[in-house]
A and B are shown apart, each in its own frame.
Chain A
């Protein structure tokens, strides 16, 4: 009963305040067990979105959070969670506590970051934002809703650290000696589908390939540590983090 009253209070007041610590602590070990691997030990994000903002891509109400946790998010690594209702609501309450407790601030100038993205960084060659840009890397239209500033910074500096299977690289050659380079889109025992560096789609039977290498550990994206100054890096991160669902572009 106490928990339901607490949730009710959150509905009325919104995400402005954090709920009392004793109400959310029950969910902490559950969160760390089931969620922290992707969302960070304290909800700060990682492979999964930063949960501290209190605004979520797939719905920000308690019911929406419950639904997202229990059903997962199709087309993303977020799985359905098979835990009891009681545990699930404890996790919801824990996330509510985390959401109100930390104010996320990002150094840097988003507008300057946008210029870097389009210019010096050359990011548009591979990344698309609202329909503009390349197709070889992840679409970044809402990346600020999906990744924390810390994770964005790490991805820019060390892109090889984590490569989604959706962006594994392909190097192949066929029986006629034709060579292919691109990004793997799909694969089974008998065929592979990929987009080449000129953004042409290919579907090739594996029996027609002479060589095939799928790169899982080396990204086609370079590390930007030496290309950008510390201030520029801050600007770029600030820009990417500003790319929130329903946010205005600078």
Chain B
């Protein structure tokens, strides 16, 4: 009986349920948005084309849903069969009628008084499998909710939140597992990626992103620094079912800006790891920023594309990295293929033929301060990029700025910040932003839509040849995916720090975006 349940939950395509096969075939039902990035290849691309370059000027607000929160809203909603599921930070969940935003139910989670989250008690979204929704919490739990009632089915502790562990990432369901990352790179945690049984929450495997004694890579940490090495996994990864690999980015080594207490490359921080989906065993890794001392987490979305590269058809991975370089990797092997900067960077002479950066002299933090571009938030960050199979371009939100990096003492105390200084922005030089379209075959920026401020908005591309993005000040816009020309814009009135999604409701294409403390849904008038 138990085995039958597993099959039904994991692979079933019962009416109304979201079995693994539906997630696998997400591109066949573009009317739904069933995973954080829209499909396992993490394209954040909608195959819907009702809203197009010709009619996007008629895009109007259909409904808005106001949340009661003072936290930054970073959620990507899931939309399945006419119901929108979204998180309200820190860890409430709503199910809304996708037609008008009216709630079906509201899950409220009580949290301890003191939560250790570096950058706000945020949450980026849910995962769905069968009739269950899965959410990680800032007190480092994983909860399973019934998707029709919001009732709590089970919850398990992922790690000890009092020691700086928390969960902000949207989980990813792969086969019959819920894959969950961890936050806490600013608290000296030891990072990991977990897989849980969706039935009762039993942990099935854990891969530590900081290797312990006797494990390969352990030698890249001096002394006991591995115990507090960071390398969290706080942004959702991708999955390639053909090679059965989960790809996930890892965050900064800890402490952030003092590398002297953790000599070595500090594997697997600031890397992409490729894990066997069944066992969690490491197949390969690629470290973008060895021995990072600038807080350049590699927690960007791994974008998987099958395409020709230098005359050969390959299984590729595109990666716009926080260190300001756009990378192309072979995702079967982790082989480095190319890298090119997409915004101002002053820290690396070049990336060598193996993919290892050759740092410029005096680019590390010092006691007196070192001015480097990009600043600690990077040339881009956690907000999603998009890949359009129509234009074959890679779109991302970009920052162009510098900061002064300091190095200081970093005494470790469990559950408190473990930084080793705090970088400063340059007075009178606030930087600027952009949305860029990169041609992955060359790494060249095809077009650039300049922004006054540095954006926190994820990008959505659509088959209507549109690119949706937003600004720090709350403007939500649609660009021509081919030229970058602005075609439509609406003022949401609140900072946009989330990624857009698109789906169908009663046959009509809608686009939703979280902004300020609300979610806004637009459709053609």
Contacts and interface: CB of A to CB of B under 8 A. Distances in A.
29 contacts: A29-B408, A29-B409, A30-B409, A33-B367, A33-B406, A37-B424, A47-B427, A82-B118, A82-B186, A82-B419, A83-B416, A84-B413, A84-B417, A85-B416, A86-B413, A86-B416, A162-B427, A165-B428, A165-B430, A187-B452, A188-B453, A188-B471, A188-B472, A189-B450, A189-B451, A189-B471, A189-B473, A189-B475, A190-B489
Interface string B404-417: 00101101010011
Interface string B392-423: 00000000000000101101010011110110
Interface string B299-340: 000000000000000000000000000000000000000000
Interface string A78-93: 0001111111000000
Chain A residues touching B, majority SS: loop
Interface in B470-491: 471-473, 475, 489
Interface of B: 118, 186, 367, 406, 408-409, 411, 413, 416-419, 421-422, 424, 427-428, 430, 450-453, 471-473, 475, 489
A162 B418 CA distance: 32
Given A187-B452, A188-B473, A189-B453, A216 B428 contact: yes
Given A82-B118, A84-B417, A188 B475 contact: yes
Contacts of B472: 188
Contacts of B408: 29-30, 33
Interface string A183-215: 000011110000000000000000000000000
Contacts, number: 56
A85 B164 CA distance: 14
Contacts of A187: 452
A158 interface: no
A86 B410 CA distance: 12
A191 to B, nearest CB: 9
A41 to B, nearest CB: 12
Contact of A217 (B411, B428, B473): B428
B417 A82 contact: yes
**Contact residue range for chain A?**
20 to 34
Contacts of B430: 165
B489 A34 contact: no
Contacts of A47: 427
Interface in A35-49: 37, 47
Nearest to A34: B422
Contacts of B413: 84, 86
Nearest to A33: B408
A163 B475 CA distance: 28
A137 B411 CA distance: 43
Contacts of B427: 47, 162
Contact of B416 (A34, A84, A165): A84
A34 B406 CA distance: 9
Contacts of B118: 82
A33 to B, nearest CB: 5
A82 B428 contact: no
Nearest to A189: B452
Interface in A69-85: 81-85
A68 to B, nearest CB: 16
Given A82-B186, A83-B417, A187-B452, 7 more contacts: A33-B408, A84-B413, A84-B416, A162-B427, A189-B452, A189-B475, A190-B489
A189 B430 CA distance: 14
Please name the 5 residue pairs, one residue from A and one from B, whose CB atoms are nearest each other, closest first: A84-B416, A188-B473, A189-B452, A33-B408, A82-B417
A34 B411 CA distance: 15
Contact of A188 (B416, B419, B424, B452): B452
B475 A190 contact: yes
A82 B452 contact: no
Nearest to B433: A189
Contacts of B421: 33-34
A157 to B, nearest CB: 19
B27 to A, nearest CB: 33
A163 B411 CA distance: 36
A82 B422 contact: yes
Contacts of B367: 33
Which residue, B118, B367, B422, has most C-beta atoms of chain A within 10 A? B422
A33 B419 CA distance: 12
Which residue, B406, B416, B418, B453, has most C-beta atoms of chain A within 10 A? B416
